[in-house]
Amino acid sequence: MATASHQRQRSRRRPGARFSAFGLLRQGLTRADWPRVWRHRDLAGSYDAVIVGGGVHGLATAYYLAKNHGMHNIAVLEKSYLGSGGSGRNTAIIRSNYLTPEGVRFYDRSVRLYEELACDLNFNVMFSQRGHLTLAHNDSSLRTMRWRAEVNSLEGVDSRVIDATEVARLVPQLDMSEHAHHPILGGLYHPPGGIIRHDAVVWGYARAADALGVHLHQGTELTGIDVVDGAVRGVQTNRGTISTPVVVNCTAGWASVIADMAGVGLPITTFPLQAAVTEPVRPFLDTVVVSGSLHVYVSQTARGELVFGAAVDPFPSYSMRGSLQFTESVAGHVLELMPALSQLRMLRQWAGLCDMTPDFSPVMGITPVDGFYVDVGWGTYGFKAAPVAGETMAELIATGKTPDMIAGFDLARFADGRLVGERGAAAVGH
């Protein structure tokens, strides 16, 4: 397994660029500018690898390629600004209490990388491991939770079924009355889960990748992929042509459109996923609260806002406008859980795009086109997987060998009938 112990690059940063309390002090006293977090670069004529998508997956892949495998001549292409897609639209929940052993191992590695990420990137991503609580409103949910807890504990992940009393102690705001429409019978508690500053993860990876020589190209849209004799030769962009033997598709929303440029079909349907945030109030909700039956999840950010999310919209669409119906239903569900919050005000709603695969699991690895890799189909769980996805994709690209951890997520599984069974834990389990 590729780890941080791989050949550590000497920092290429300029002096004074390191972030620390001392740096803040010095900068405050001298009033000097901080160095740029990443540089503007000219588009080079050739790169060893071109990564499509300047979100957290693409940036993480670039970072680990450079850091763990010594590949520095890499470009990341982003058609808008860094983190403008799903990376900046998700609800920033991190957890590893999945359902299948493969899923649990994979996301557990991601959580561990997230725990180290601030130090690794020298950028505080503010990973707040405040605990993740999934509520059970009926006995079939409790049964599935016991299943998850069992699989989790077999894989060494801290996750356990708790009773209603403990739920009430963790989140006193919950309506625990028996006569609630959806009475709370217990829950699945996952202490290492939590929330993170999603933008900070994007920026941290981008800054660290830039420092290792990776070229980040914002405002650069992929318009074509050159495939000759079944192998990638280069790409076309709105800013010019690049020759490269490796193209990595790290996009979401348009993943199938990009893959189509290489003649690769993906079993992906795109659905909007909506979210909303309230005005800030003083901190009162420490735990991330999820209700699968009510299709809602709630957390409170360090800024004091409550962040709400739900399941993906019921029909496929590329619309990112958000609907009134979503706000009504999410507000209703939140108030069922916490009736005292009716005076809080919803400040903003938005939507992101989720590429759903038939088995609620990503598509990672090689494709029939030599040199064209995919890291797509991330549905509603892409953000929490970014570090491990980047790490394993980098290993695959650098060594040519698919790491065991992602072998089950290969594109060929749909043709071979080897689907992954994460529907239960991934569908709404944020």
Partner 1 sequence: MTSSHRLPPQPGEVIDRAQRFTFRWNGRPYQAYAGDTIASALAASGVRVLSRSLKYHRPRGLLSADFNDPNCMVTADGEPNVRAAHRLVSPGMSVSSQDTWPSLRFDVKAANQLVGRFLGPGFYYKTFMRPQRLWPAYDKVLGRFSHGGYAPTAPDVDRYDQRYAHPDVLVAGGGPAGMAAAVAAADAGARVLLVDEEHHLGGHLRWADAEGLEILRELRAAVQAAGIEVMTDSVVTGRYDGNWVSVLQRSVPGVRERLVKARAKHMIVAPGLIDRPYVVGGNDLPGVMLSTAVRRLVNLYAVKPGERAVVLTANTAGDAVAADLGRAGVDVVRVLDARQDEDVVRIVGRSAVRAVECSDGAVVDCDLVVTAIGWTAPLTLATVSGGRAEFRAEAARFVPVGLPDDVSAVGGIVGDGSTDQLMEHATAVGREAARRASHRAVALAAGVPHARVTAPADTPAVAIPDLRPAAHPMLSLGRTDGIVDFSEDVSAKDLKSAVREGYDSIELAKRYTTATMGPSQGKLEGVNSIAAVAAATGAGLAETGTTTGRPPYVPVSLGALAGRSHQLLRRSPLQGWHDSHGAAPLYAGSWVRPDHYGDPAAEVQAVRDAVGIIDVTPLGKFDLRGPDVPDLLELLYINKWRKLGVGSVRYGVMCAEDGVVLDDGVTGRLGPEHYLMTTTSSGAEATYDWMERWLQTERRQWRVHVTPVTSNYASINVAGPRSRELLARLTDLDLAPDAFRYMQVRTGAVAGIADCVVWRIGFTGELSFEVHVPAGHGLHVWKALLATGSDLGIRPFGIEAQRILRLEKGHLIVGQDTDGLTQAYGAGLDWAVKLDKPDFAGKPELVWQQMRDDYLRLVGLQPVDGAVVPPEASQIVEDGTRIVGRITSSRMSPTLGHAVCLGLLAPHLSSAGTTVTVRLPGGGSIQARVMPELAHVDPEGVRLRG
Position among 10, 29, 169, 400 found at the interface with partner 1 (CB under 8 A): 29
Tokens at 429, concatenated: 């389990």
What phi and psi values does residue 46 have, to the nearest 5 degrees?
-150, 150
Q: Which is nearer to partner 1, 141 or 244 (CB)?
A: 141
What number of chain residues touch partner 1 (CB under 8 A)? 104
Binding status of residue 113 toward partner 1 by CB under 8 A: no
d(CA 21, CA 297): 35
Choose among 384, 387, 418, 200: nearest CA to 297.
384
Question: Which region, judged by CB under 8 A, interacts with partner 1, from 141-149, 232-240, 375-383, 386-394?
Answer: 141-149
Q: Which is nearer to partner 1, 245 or 322 (CB)?
A: 322
375, 389 contact by CB (below 8 A): yes
Binding status of residue 241 toward partner 1 by CB under 8 A: no
d(CA 196, CA 128): 6
376, 250 contact by CB (below 8 A): yes
Residues whose CB is less than 8 angstroms from the CB of residue 22 and which lie 6 or more positions away in sequence, other chains included: none
- Residues forming a β-bridge with 232: 227
Binding status of residue 147 toward partner 1 by CB under 8 A: yes
Residue 6 CB, shortest distance to partner 1, in Å, is 20
Binding status of residue 404 toward partner 1 by CB under 8 A: no
Residues whose CB is less than 8 angstroms from the CB of residue 243 and which lie 6 or more positions away in sequence, other chains included: 45, 46, 233, 234
Position among 11, 16, 34, 240 found at the interface with partner 1 (CB under 8 A): 34
Using CB under 8 A, which residues numbered 48 to 77 contact partner 1? none
Q: Which is nearer to partner 1, 32 or 231 (CB)?
A: 32
Residue 119 CB, shortest distance to partner 1, in Å, is 6
Tokens 């990748």 found at: 209
164, 116 contact by CB (below 8 A): no
Residue 311 CB, shortest distance to partner 1, in Å, is 14
Binding status of residue 37 toward partner 1 by CB under 8 A: yes
Residues whose CB is less than 8 angstroms from the CB of residue 349 and which lie 6 or more positions away in sequence, other chains included: 274, 275, 276, 277, 322, 326, 327
Window 149-188: contact mask with partner 1 (x via CB under 8 A): xxx--x------------------x-------xxx-x---
Window 73-102: contact mask with partner 1 (x via CB under 8 A): -------xxxxx---x------------x-
Residue 261 CB, shortest distance to partner 1, in Å, is 26
Tokens at 193, concatenated: 């889960």
Question: Which region, judged by CB under 8 A, interacts with partner 1, from 54-62, 64-72, 120-128, 241-249?
Answer: 120-128
